[in-house]
Amino acid sequence: MPEYFVYILASGKNGTLYIGVTNDLLRRVYHHKENIVEGFTKKYNVHNLVYYESYGDIQAAIIREKQMKKWKRQWKIKLIEKDNPSWKDLYYDLLG
Tens of pLDDT, residue by residue over 51-83, are 999 999 999 999 999 999 999 999 999 999 999
Is 58 domain-assigned? no
Is 21 domain-assigned? yes
Is 12 domain-assigned? yes
| Triad 96, 27, 18: Cα angle to 5° | 100
Is 56 domain-assigned? no
Is 40 domain-assigned? yes
Q: How many domains does the chain have?
A: 1
Structural domain that includes position 6: 1-48
The band of 94, judged by pLDDT with boundaries at 50, 70 and 90, is very high
Is 24 domain-assigned? yes
Give the pTM.
Answer: 0.96
Instruction: Please check whether residue 20 is in contact with residue 65, taking contact to mean a CB–CB distance below 8 angstroms.
Output: yes
Is 87 domain-assigned? no
